[in-house]
Each structure stands twice: as C-alpha cells, then as structure tokens.
Amino acid sequence: MAPPSCPPLDQLQLVFDGARPPHGSTDLLRHLEDCEDCQVRLAAAPPRVEVLPAFRPEVEEETRLVSPAEGGDTAWPRATGEFTDFTLASGGPPVPRRVGPYEVVGVLGHGAMGIVVKAIDPVLNRFVAVKILTPTLAENDDARRRFVREAQAPARIASDHVVPVYGLGEADDRPYLVMQYVRGQDLARRLKRGGPMPLDEALRIGREVAAGLAAAHAVGVVHRDVKPGNVLLEELEAGAVNPGPGGWERVRITDFGLAREDGGPVITRHGVVVGTPKYMSPEQITGAPVDHRTDLYSFGLLLYQLVVGRAPFHATSLVGFLDQHLYAQPTPPSECVPGGVPDWLDQLIIRLLRKQPADRVQTAAEVVRELDEGTARLNLLADRMV
C-alpha cells in the first residue's frame, strides 16, 4: 500500500514506458529518486518496463550503477556540469542521469560512437531520444563534423519516413543530438525471427523505406548506410488509422551520420572505407564517386532480405563480403522462396543489385512507383480470387 503522498504505480511505470510521459514526469522522477517505498513498489510490480538501476531499491552487484570515481569506465570521466554519469559495474556504457535539460529514463542502444538514451523533455513533456558522443570522439574534429551532419541531413528532409531531429546541444564539451523518440523496434530485430516475411509486410516496409530515401535524395542527401539496423518500425499507438500488417504503424529511417550531399565533398580520410560491409555498394568499396544510387544498391540488399529471409551474400570475413559485392551475382529471389515471388518484384530486386550504378533502377521515386503498381496488381488479383 503506497503512502498517501506517493503517486499511483501506473504513473511511475509510464515514466519509463509508454508513447508519452505522464503529466509532471520530472517531478515523479525526483520523487522516485528519494522514495524507497516507491522504488520497492516499482520493483515488485509485474516486469513490464526496464527501470534503470539507479531507481531500484536493491540491485545485484553485476548490474549495480557505480560512478567512474568508484572504478567505472575511465573512457567516460565523471563530469561536474550538466552531465551526471554512472556506468554499469559489468563494464557496460555509462548511463547519464541527465543530459543538459533532459531527464534520462532508459537506454536505447550504444556503440562505438556513443550511447542513445530515452529521456524526458521537461519543457514540452514528451519523450525524446538523445545520442551522446563519447568523450574520446568529442575531441576528434572529424567525429564532431559527422555528428553535426547527422543532425543537419534529416532536418532538410520532409518525410514521415525519416526520424526528425529536434536539435543539437553540448554539455561539458560533449555534443548531443536530440531526436524524436520512436517507440518500437529496428528492422534488424524483426528480421532475426528468420524466414521470409509475409509478402504484404515486406512490400510495405520496402515501399516506406524507398519513400524516405526518395525524400532524402530530392534534397540532395545520400544516406550511405542503409541497413536494417537503421530502419525503425514505429509501434502502433491506440487509435492509429493506418497500421502495418505486422502491428507497426510506419517505417522511419534513422542515423544519417554517414550522409553527404549528392556530389558534395568527401570528408572521410583517404583510404578509409565508410559504411557497413554487409550492405555496402561496389562504388563505396572501390572508392569510386558515390551518388544517390549507392543507397539504391543497399536498399536492394535490404529488400532481398525482406522477401527471401536472408541476405543475398554470405561471408565469414570482411574481405569475403567486399569480394562478393564486387564480383558475385545474387541468386534471384524467385529461386529462393518456395512458391516463388512475383516476376516484377524479382526483376526489381535484381536491377537494384547491379554492380554498375548506371545499370540499376535510377531513382528511389521509381522504386516507389514500381512497388505501388506491383502491390496494386497483387491486391486486384487477391480480390478476384475471393
């Protein structure tokens, strides 16, 4: 039984979960930091949300949050200003309690570039995703320029299929990027279920990714890292009028950290291969000029995986992947899927995966058109068979 002054349990849970934070969420966090009764209530509740160890009454040693001063990750030194850093004793990345004005309530992901946290915007009372550059990279001018580019590129794109960026900030000499919080999962996690995706779902995901790329290319932005991990499936909210066949509402492309202007200057060091090997175009590998058609090749790899259930190329080494992108021809999807795939879709994927950019489908807008027309024919055929 909660003391009369304590908030309801569902309000506390919504601070960490939900599509929108509850009213007065920052006050709820402050209360939870200091109230052991509420920490116990939250810990005893059915495990519906992930709660940061800092807000738990008792935490096992291997997941206890410790400050860097107590032996945490020395790559993330304890700050004295707007960051209050903690790190997992197991060696995980630090979990900042606050980033500038934003109150952190969860961890969305982490990698070599930094950490992405879920946070509350105290002014607009909404969840946001905040990407924080590691201190080591914050001292690198190239990394800083890439970080700024990650904010600037999507800011120019008018599309529901690109994650909006709200702004850039800096605290204690560490840049951070504030984006829309997209509740859901990335496409890579969805694909881990294995096997080909239902055709209607594969076509809709492909169509929405292509639409996002078309909007980016229309303003001269080339993503250069199109892959399932950079495609988010936004979770269906109550009252949504356009749900996807897999229970999601829309697709959003994220992570424009490698983006550049079509035909613009390359700021990457000479001889450095930029991208994800499994999804790189031949021209990225060889260092040839790169334009919007490099995204179409990577999109072809993604669409192949959606339809077939696996990537067209397989290798056990970086060199193996690069060699296959340069020289190997993919097996047509129609030969990999029991029952085959529509001829038009088979040909579209093969054309997207041509080694020479001039031999591919030339624009993302053309891809959208072909997917729309092909889907319409499939729907008409299905209606006739009813």
Residues with catalytic roles: 225
**How many alpha carbons fall within 13 Å on the CB side of residue 160?**
8
For 305, list phi and psi in degrees, rounded to 5: -65, -35
Angle subtended by helix axes 293-308 and 199-218, to nearest 10: 170
Q: Give me the residue label for tokens 């032996």.
A: 71
3-class state of residue 6 by DSSP: coil
3-class state of residue 362 by DSSP: coil
Six-digit token string for 369: 């058109």
Cα distance between residue 138 and residue 141, in whole Å: 8
Pair 225, 279: CB distance under 8 Å: yes
Longest Cα–Cα distance in the chain: 70
Q: What share of the chain is helix, strand, coil (3-state, %, to 5)?
A: 40, 15, 45
